[in-house]
Amino acid sequence: MEYLFEKMSSSDKDAKPIQLHLLKTITEDFSEKMKVGSGGYGEVYKGVLNGDEIAVKKLFPVPGLNDEAFENEFRNLKKVQHENIIRMIGYCYEIAHKDVEYEGKLVFSAVIERALCFEYMKGGSLAKHISDKSCILDWPTTYKIIHGTCEGLHYLHKGQVQKIFHLDLKPDNVLLDENFVPKIGDFGLSKLFGTSYTHQISAMKGTVGFMPQEYIHNRKVSPKNDVFSLGVIIFHMMAGEKGYGDYWDARRRPNFSKLIQQDFIDSVQEYWKTKMQATKGYRWDEADLLGVTKCIDMAMRCVEDDRDKRPYMTEIISELKELDSKVGEMLNKDPKPTIHPLRNCVNGLGALKQNKSPNNLGKDIVVDPSLELCFPFEPNKDIRCCLQLINKAASSHIAFNINTDVEKYLAQPHKGIIAPYSKCYITLTLREEEVALPNMQCFDMLVVQTVRVSKHFTSDEITQDFLQNISAMDEVIWPIHYVGLDQ
């Protein structure tokens, strides 16, 4: 079967063959510690290859999957290139002979190991950014994700060589980079594994709600399957799982009407208006209202029971372009005020609206304490607490920088380099104050910035110019609390 490996190795300059032993090394033998996800087709692990983070999807063994089927679908995956589609950068196809017990005897059995390697997405899956009520991100970012996901699905449906139906589209398969650009993953794998297999896995994971009725009951496959799934995803982003469930239930009642549908649209509009008006520095206006209305209306049409009533992706893209044109005209007449980036806003509660895990910086650095910094306040006395940074990366050095109000707090050290599998202890000192704030109310914050650097990088190179020009920086904020000694 070496012919397959040879044909793959010489067929493309982008996706490279990667040996299994190397994938085992960079994923610590596919350990639980390095696992970042699990899906219907395999387990996903994080690794570092040639200094770059990659995601390794180790495919489940599939009975009846022959070499030719794998080769054909593999070639399809390699040819797909779009900014909203996950990029494949390598693959592994190896046959190992292992001794197994069969009828009381040890026999050698051929075991096929298959893995696909993709660019690593720091933002994780879209599922991690959706709450019971909506997408936890702001409206411009939410719309950016909706728009990009539509563009990626449209690309798959129109096909450069042949049309590709995803057939397993859900928030877990929409991945986000550090700038929240969405990229569709697991495309084409449903064809490789079989749509029945995909459905069975989805059913076990409780995601059948993303599949249309004609597929669940009759296995009918068309591009409208993906359109339905897209509609459910947009619903979850706009109104949460509960909102979609409420709408789905209402659709099945005899008294469902256009009035009930409009009431639902009004409630989604009011939710996003209230949410964004509470965001410091953001101005909610008619342009936002137009976008919210268009997206929830589009989601409603995508989840119609009758697939003939669902729009095609070409129609959806056309509508989004028209929306962008209208919004552009509105903003040209009345531009929105600029919101300063997070790294320039060390003080103020508005910074807490960033939705990053507080104890995990890009999965490289773990921080203790994980939730908040507490000072047992005493008048006229310096108070200290300790912050611990742990570099979990196996082969990456991490540069860190600490930001806070330097007139009140002293961080030692305030910047530095952490070697792989090493720790750094930071002492944060609250300078003495004569009296505590009323009711111990403190609204101060501490910001930890981290970025991967080479092993030759030094602390002296961590300057403000360096920090401002880094695009792949991880940045997390901790609230600072004061507590009385009797608490």
Residues annotated within a binding site: 58
Per-residue confidence (pLDDT) for residue 205, from 0 to 100: 44
Q: Active-site residue 12, yes or no?
A: no
User: Options 3.30.465.10, 3.30.200.20, 3.60.20.10, 3.90.930.12; which CATH number does 1-120 get?
Assistant: 3.30.200.20
Which of 322, 355, 331 shows the shortest CA–CA distance to 477? 355
341 secondary structure, DSSP code: P
- The yes or no reply on domain 123-339 and CATH 3.40.630.30 is no
Which two structure tokens, joined as six digits, stand for 373? 């910094």
Which two structure tokens, joined as six digits, stand for 220? 């009918």
Domain boundaries, the chain: 1-120, 123-339, 343-483
Write down the residue that tokens 């893995």 correspond to.
115
Per-residue confidence (pLDDT) for residue 191, from 0 to 100: 59
The active-site residue out of 168, 186, 226, 288 is 168
Which of 396, 5, 316, 334 shows the shortest CA–CA distance to 146? 316
Per-residue confidence (pLDDT) for residue 440, from 0 to 100: 59
Per-residue confidence (pLDDT) for residue 299, from 0 to 100: 96
- Residues 6 or more apart whose CB falls under 8 angstroms from that of 45 comprise 27, 30, 31, 34, 35, 36, 55, 56, 58
Whether 358 and 476 have beta carbons less than 8 Å apart is answered as yes
Whether the domain at 1-120 and the domain at 123-339 fall into the same CATH topology: no
219: left (phi over 0), alpha (psi -120 to 50) or beta: left
Per-residue confidence (pLDDT) for residue 436, from 0 to 100: 61
- pTM of structure: 0.65
Q: Which 3 state secondary structure label does DSSP give 41?
A: coil
Q: Per-residue DSSP letters for 342-400?
A: GGG--SSGGGGG----TTEETTTEEEESSS-EEEE--TTS-EEEEEEEEE--SS-EEEE
Angle of helix 258-277 versus helix 286-302 axis, rounded to 10: 140
Distance CA 411, CA 134 (A): 37
- β-pair partners for 114: 93
For 336, list phi and psi in degrees, rounded to 5: -75, 150
Residues annotated within a binding site for ATP: 58
Per-residue confidence (pLDDT) for residue 79, from 0 to 100: 77
Provide the 10 A C-beta neighbour count for residue 269.
Answer: 16
User: 3-class secondary structure for 151-218?
Assistant: HHHHHHHHCCCCCCCCCCCCHHHEEECCCCCEEECCCCHHHHHCHHHHHHHHHHCCCHHHCCHHHHHH
- Mean pLDDT of successive 10-residue segments in the chain (487 residues)? 43 70 91 81 86 86 62 70 89 77 73 86 88 87 96 90 83 90 80 49 49 76 91 95 90 90 94 85 91 97 93 96 94 74 33 38 67 74 83 83 85 90 86 66 77 85 80 74 62
Distance CA 187, CA 118 (A): 12
- Residues 6 or more apart whose CB falls under 8 angstroms from that of 292 comprise 139, 238, 268, 269, 272
User: Options 3.30.390.50, 3.90.76.10, 2.60.40.10, 3.40.50.300; which CATH number does 343-483 get?
Assistant: 2.60.40.10
Helices (H), 212-358: 213-218, 223-251, 258-277, 286-302, 313-333
